[in-house]
Amino acid sequence: MKADRLFKWTTIATVWLWLSLFALLPTLLVLITSFLENDTVNLFRWHFSLQNYLALLNPIYFTVFWHSFYIAGLCSLICLLLSYPFAYFLARLESRYKSLLLFLVIIPFWTSSLIRTYAIISILKAKGLLNTLLLSLGIIHHPLTILYTSTAVMIGLVYSLLPFMILPLYANIEKLDIRFIDAARDLGASAVTILARVIFPLTLPGIMGGIILVFLPAMSMFYIPDILGGAKSLLVGNLVQNEFLAAHNWPLGSAVSMVLTLAMGLLLLMYRRANKIGQHYDEPIGEI
């Protein structure tokens, strides 16, 4: 008994130490830096100030935040619309085919996302695979200009983040009690009603989980806009990168990072609320 208790507390202490050193402490340092003043020589000056957060009210930074919010929201919506039918179909599929499809979903994680992003260039460029195919079929007569546009950035984000939406949806839908759907169908509910009032509330935690895993990375992504969007597409992630590495304005970069952290906290609160709603609907049905 004493050995079990010692092992338990040692494990907990190890996890807490790891999180404190590599999660809590860095976040605390970034928070402190965000309230300091910029110094071109020493990176920052130990003088408390709110100027970094006030600077974010500048229309230039507001435009970057709004554009990032729009891109991340649209990316999350596209991923949800593409993933939900697939995840539902996957959850209801026979086990032998389910394993194969899950394997295909996970395969992209075996390759560096940076390499996959560069591979998209060969598809979207003027003489790339997409334009060559469309020209050969006679659908277009001139190559489409997709590369280095917001459309290319969106394609890259959706391609990279789609598995992060599929997996939580699949895990949630797989636990869905089919008797709820059968009961609604027996009571004369239409397919739209079943989807809106039965399936959607029960899978809301999976939806919110997927949105969190897609929205925040899409907002803070910097290499995909750099590679596929060029200078025309600037997201919050690029702003943080530029402030830290190019402008060497660590306090302002820290302030932007803390805004992203706050957004993550708000999304987690929404997920918690969605989880409670899902638990409210997901009450066990007694045996008939």
Decide if pLDDT at 267 tops 90.
no
Q: Does residue 112 sit within a domain? A: yes
pLDDT at residue number 175: 87
Structural domain range at position 261:
57-281
Query: If pLDDT is split at 50, 70 and 90, which confidence band does 273 have?
Result: confident
Query: If pLDDT is split at 50, 70 and 90, which confidence band does 282 have?
Result: low
Q: How far is CA 152 from CA 105, 111, 149, in A?
A: 21, 20, 5
DSSP secondary structure string for all residues of the chain: -HHHHHHHHHHHHHHHHHHIIIIIHHHHHHHHHHTSEEETTTEEES---SHHHHHTTSHHHHHHHHHHHHHHHHHHHHHHHHHHHHHHHHHTS-HHHHHHHHHHHHGGGGS-HHHHHHHHHHHHSTTSHHHHHHHHTTS-SS----TTSHHHHHHHHHHHHHHHHHHHHHHHHHT--HHHHHHHHHTT--HHHHIIIIIHHHTHHHHHHHHHHHHHHHHH--HHIIIIIGGG---HHHHHHIIIIIS--HHHHHHHHHHHHHHHHHHHHHHHHHHHHHHHH-PPPPP-
Instruction: Encode pLDDT of 2-57 as tens digits.
Output: 777 777 888 888 999 999 999 899 999 999 999 999 887 777 888 898 999 999 98
pLDDT at residue number 283: 57
pLDDT at residue number 254: 94
Q: Does residue 10 sit within a domain? A: no
Q: Does residue 68 sit within a domain? A: yes
Q: Read off the pLDDT of each residue in 266-284 and give the average, rounded to a whole number.
A: 71
pLDDT at residue number 284: 55
Query: Could you count the other beta carbons within 10 Å of the beta carbon of residue 136?
Result: 8
- The two tokens of residue 32 are 């402190």
- Structural domain count of the chain: 1
pLDDT at residue number 98: 85
Quote the CA–CA distance of 219 and 197 in Å, as a whole number: 31
Of the CA atoms within 13 Å of residue 84, those in its CB half-sphere come to 16
Query: If pLDDT is split at 50, 70 and 90, which confidence band does 278 have?
Result: low
pLDDT at residue number 281: 58
Instruction: Encode pLDDT of 168-226 as tens digits.
Output: 999 999 888 888 888 888 888 888 898 888 888 889 889 999 999 999 899 988 899 99
Q: How large a percentage of the chain has pLDDT more than 90?
A: 40
Contact between 149 and 126 under an 8 Å Cβ cutoff? The reply is no
Q: Does residue 24 sit within a domain? A: no
CATH of the domain at 119: 1.10.3720.10
Q: Does residue 42 sit within a domain? A: no
Decide if pLDDT at 280 tops 80.
no
In which region does residue 217 sit, left (phi positive, over 0), alpha (psi from -120 to 50) or beta (all else)? alpha
Q: Does residue 86 sit within a domain? A: yes
pLDDT at residue number 248: 87
Query: Could you count the other beta carbons within 10 Å of the beta carbon of residue 200?
Result: 13
Q: Does residue 48 sit within a domain? A: no
pTM of the predicted protein model? 0.86
Residue 44's DSSP bridge partners are 38
Which residues have CB under 8 Å from 108's CB, separation 6+?
116, 160, 163
Q: Does residue 268 sit within a domain? A: yes
Instruction: Encode pLDDT of 70-87 as tens digits.
Output: 999 999 999 999 999 999
Q: Read off the pLDDT of each residue in 154-161 and give the average, rounded to a whole number.
A: 95
